[in-house]
Amino acid sequence: SIPLSFFSGIGSASKKGILVKGGNYLEELNNVKAVVFDKTGTLTMGKFKVTDIMAVNGDKEELLELAAAAEWYSNHPIGECVKNSLEKPINEENIENHHELEGYGIKAHYKKDEILTGNAKLLKKHSIKFDEADLLGTIVYVAKNGVYAGYILISDEIKKDSHEAVKRLKEIGIKSFMLTGDRKKVAEKIGKEIGIKEIHSELLPDEKVDHFQKIKEQIKGSVIFVGDGINDAPVLALSDIGVAMGGIGSDSAIEAADVIIMNDEPIKLREVIDVAKFTRVIVLQNI
Ligand code: ADP
Ligand code: MG
């Protein structure tokens, strides 16, 4: 009767749109004391919109074209947004040497020019002179042949249920954390709106791993990591329970995760924990 109860638990989770990959994860969910959230695509929609363009030479369409060409082969939500804002398609024959630099952005050649597109860290790493913009939103800087060309400001939207999701975890004594590669200013504003005080921002993928490990040492109990899998696969693998967003998430994240939230709503975390607690009661009753 014990395995049967786990099967029914997995079944009722799946009816709620949550895939649990085994009875052991359902058991482990009972011991969770903290949830570590990735920001982009997890707490936010990961659907960015271009809200401003500043081109040093005044030609905004050209700046967008350079950035879109560089982002052409990227499936990062930022890259998708830049590409979708472009009016005319890019001729792929003009794109060469595309490199995605995780946590920084892109380096690629377009019409034989070297294009860099990404965050301030990326331009600093290449010793490019530029003025850092102080805006609320994600700023994508662009440089051409080592010279600053301008920026594209893009904005993301917080998911409707993120605040409620954190609140409902807190109700049952589960603490929430945020790890993000994005800037401190943006991360703190979102944290404030959602109700997460523990925020670690401007992290590279391996720094996310270090911070996750520190959180694990500090928490006595299991720790969930929940992400979309873009730039956070190593943390997903390291967590006691890895949760992936099934809609926006990358295939590799869905494969690496133990639990998958099909409709991408963070509120489902509390629902699956409730299912786990209920299943445990049934299991204990049948021993
Ligand atoms: P998060 O932790 O919020 O999910 P990521 O780790 O995926 O964010 O990315 C961190 C930062 O690196 C982004 O906020 C962005 O500034 C920059 N970045 C990463 N990939 C790209 C890209 N393809 N184009 C432009 N910028 C990028
Ligand atoms: Mg992400």
Instruction: Report the pLDDT value the prediction gives residue 107, as an integer from 0 to 100.
Output: 98
Kindly provide the ipTM of the predicted complex, given to two decimals.
0.95
pLDDT at 287 over 90: no
Taking the centre of ligand 2 as the mean of its atom positions, its distance from the CA of residue 2, in whole angstroms, is 37
Instruction: Report the pLDDT value the prediction gives residue 283, as an integer from 0 to 100.
Output: 82
In this prediction, residue 165 has a pLDDT band, given cuts at 50, 70 and 90, of very high
CATH 3.40.50.300 fits 2-44+158-285, yes or no: no
Burial class (CB in 10 A: 0-12, 13-18, 19+), 102: middle
Lowest mean pLDDT among 4-8, 44-48, 123-127, 238-242: 4-8
Which residue ranges make up each domain of the chain?
Answer: 2-44+158-285, 49-155
Over residues 59-74, the mean pLDDT reads 97
Over residues 21-45, the mean pLDDT reads 95
Please check whether residue 142 is in contact with residue 126, taking contact to mean a CB–CB distance below 8 angstroms. no
Instruction: Report the pLDDT value the prediction gives residue 253, as an integer from 0 to 100.
Output: 85
Instruction: Report the pLDDT value the prediction gives residue 2, as an integer from 0 to 100.
Output: 59
Over residues 165-191, the mean pLDDT reads 96
Distance of alpha carbon 130 from alpha carbon 33, whole angstroms: 44
In this prediction, residue 1 has a pLDDT band, given cuts at 50, 70 and 90, of low
User: Residues 6 or more apart from 10 whose CB is under 8 A from it?
Assistant: 20, 22, 23, 26
Give the count of beta carbons closer than 10 Å to the beta carbon of residue 237. Answer: 13
Three-state secondary structure readout of 54-99: EECCCCHHHHHHHHHHHHCCCCCHHHHHHHHCCCCCCCHHHEEEEE
Q: What is the DSSP letter of 4?
A: H
DSSP assignment string, 111-123: TTEEEEEE-HHHH
Taking the centre of ligand 2 as the mean of its atom positions, its distance from the CA of residue 182, in whole angstroms, is 9
Over residues 72-97, the mean pLDDT reads 94
Lowest mean pLDDT among 28-32, 92-96, 126-130, 251-255: 251-255
Q: Which of 156, 180, 250 to mutate to test the pocket of ligand 1 (most atoms within 8 A of CB)?
A: 180
Over residues 229-236, the mean pLDDT reads 86
Q: Is 264 a catalytic residue?
A: no
Over residues 166-172, the mean pLDDT reads 98
Domain 49-155 in CATH: superfamily? Answer: Calcium-transporting ATPase, cytoplasmic domain N (3.40.1110.10)
pTM, entire model: 0.88
Please check whether residue 241 is in contact with residue 62, taking contact to mean a CB–CB distance below 8 angstroms. no
In this prediction, residue 84 has a pLDDT band, given cuts at 50, 70 and 90, of very high
Residue with tokens 């609140």: 167
Q: Please state the atom number of ligand 1 nearest to the C-alpha of residue 74.
A: 23
pLDDT at 65 over 70: yes
Taking the centre of ligand 1 as the mean of its atom positions, its distance from the CA of residue 215, in whole angstroms, is 22
In this prediction, residue 232 has a pLDDT band, given cuts at 50, 70 and 90, of confident
Question: Which carries the bigger pLDDT value, residue 58 or residue 249?
Answer: 58
User: Residues 6 or more apart from 93 whose CB is under 8 A from it?
Assistant: none
Give ligand 1 pocket residues (Cβ under 6 A): 38-40, 71, 74, 76, 78-79, 103-106, 117-119, 138, 140, 180-182, 230-231
Distance of alpha carbon 233 from alpha carbon 150, whole angstroms: 31
Whether 2-44+158-285 and 49-155 share one fold: the answer is: no
Instruction: Report the pLDDT value the prediction gives residue 245, as an integer from 0 to 100.
Output: 93
Helix ranges (H only) for 85-204 are 120-125, 162-171, 184-194
Q: Which of 47, 119, 159, 201 to mutate to test the pocket of ligand 1 (most atoms within 8 A of CB)?
A: 119
Please check whether residue 122 is in contact with residue 115, taking contact to mean a CB–CB distance below 8 angstroms. no
